[in-house]
Amino acid sequence: MENGFKKREVERSFQKFRDNVTYVFNSDIYTFTTFFNNLIFFCETDEVMRVITSQLKQIDISYDDWFNQLPQPYGRPELDLPTNETERTALIYKICIKIQKKEIDRFNFCLTLNNSLSPNGTISFFNLNLLTPFIDSVGYKIDDITCMINEDYQGTAIIPFAVFNVFVDNSVTLGNNNKFKSETAIGRGANIEKE
């Protein structure tokens, strides 16, 4: 069994991700739901993107806890995303999944945070304040992976799973200052073995 992805497979997945993002940002009230759902479906089902997004889903941050603790300086919740980029990206992705699964209504979610929005305004609000930070963060990780592939794996047919570990800190600290870092395989055929 292969323990990585073919380089062309990775490049194609990243291009499809970028294309799906473009469709969402160019959508309006009549097309947003379709293109947004397509984007999240792609992130959840594409083998390459799923390695990245599965890491985000493993990060311990609760939507309910976050939403219930939002500041309310004017009697309404105020959007206050985590300052840590990984936590922020994970939270936004969890919100996106909830919207795609219809556990959260995007329109009402945006109106809760800003009740003066028009229907198209809720799309602009969502894209600017939630989707843009998510896309930027994932985009930076994709750029890092692409750079590594082009520099370190340029002559390699198979790109190892470890290259895609971009949101998970695999380091372990034992005692006071003993820190160990491992490259964990995440993806097809991944397993943990006791030596």
Domains of the chain, by residue range, sit at: 4-171
Alpha helices per DSSP H over the chain: 7-25, 32-45, 47-58, 63-68, 85-100, 106-113, 119-126, 132-152
Whole-angstrom distance, CA of residue 90 vs CA of residue 74: 27
Kindly tell me the number of DSSP H helices and DSSP E strands found in the chain: 8, 4
Q: Contact 42/194 with Cβ under 8 angstroms?
A: no
Q: What are the tokens at 64?
A: 């309910």
State the pLDDT at residue 194: 42
Cα 57 to Cα 185: distance, rounded to the nearest angstrom? 16
Q: Identify which of 90, 92, 91, 95 has the alpha carbon closest to the alpha carbon of residue 106.
A: 95
pLDDT of 178: 53
Look at residue 115 in the predicted model and tell me its pLDDT: 87
Those residues of the chain that have pLDDT short of 50 are 1, 179-195
- Residue 74 has a pLDDT of 80
If one counts every other C-beta atom within 10 angstroms of the C-beta of residue 71, the result is 10
Mention every residue, 6+ apart, whose C-beta is less than 8 A from residue 49.
13, 17, 42, 43
